[in-house]
Amino acid sequence: MTVPLTSLVFPDTEQMVVNHLLEVLGYEASTVRPDGGAFTEALPFIWVNRIGGVRVTRTSQGRSLHDEARISLDVYATEGANTSSRVAATDAVAQVRAAFEQMHGTSRDGGFVLRTWEETGPAVRPEEPNTNVTRIGLIVGLRVRPV
């Protein structure tokens, strides 16, 4: 029996990334950036936002059903006992990049990750002046199909 396209539900790629990073790393990750003291307590923190991408839904036995999501990852870190905020953020980004690459070939949250890639970054992104928080961001992509 063929499932009609209208009943296919594509997975939430943001949530897939958040759940994977929470599982693999010891950092807080969310699609919502906390405010005030909650933000400081969450550091290092990964802010995950979908910024685009297309869903491909061709069928009639040519089956190409996938979502090519573009995701912005902002990694925030503060200075530690022996490190500057820049060093802490750079270390955290290296771990985030490795964890993201590990998503390739995995299945979770209603989706199977066919491919992962890095589009831009990492690069320091502006943050509130006069704080001890560094923000380093990158843009990644993942091709996901529903399971």
Our measurement of the distance from residue 39's CA atom to the centroid of its chain's CA atoms, rounded to an integer in Å, reads 18
**Mean pLDDT score of the chain:** 89
Is the model's pLDDT at 61 over the cut of 90? no
2 pLDDT exceeds 60? no
Angle at 55 between CA 121 and CA 30, to 5 degrees: 50
CATH number at residue 89: 3.30.2000.30
User: Which residue matches tokens 């939430």?
Assistant: 12
Averaged pLDDT, 99-116: 96
Residue 94: pLDDT above 90?
yes
Q: Domain of 34?
A: 5-146
Q: What are 120-145's pLDDT values in tens digits?
A: 989 999 877 667 899 999 999 999 99
pLDDT tens digit string along 28-50?
A: 999 999 988 899 899 999 999 99
- The yes-or-no verdict on residue 146 having pLDDT over 80 is yes
What's the structural domain count of the chain? 1
| 79-108 per-residue burial string, b: 16 or more CB within 10 A, e: under 16 | beeeeebeebbbebbebbbebbeebeeeeb
pLDDT band at 95 (very low <50, low <70, confident <90, very high): very high
- C-alpha distances (whole Å) from 128 to each of 23, 78, 120, 132, 134 are 29, 13, 22, 9, 9
Q: Which residues contact 49 (CB under 8 A, 6 or more apart)?
A: 14, 31, 71, 72, 74
Neighbours of 125 (CB within 10 A): 15
Do the Cβ atoms of 26 and 44 come closer than 8 Å? no
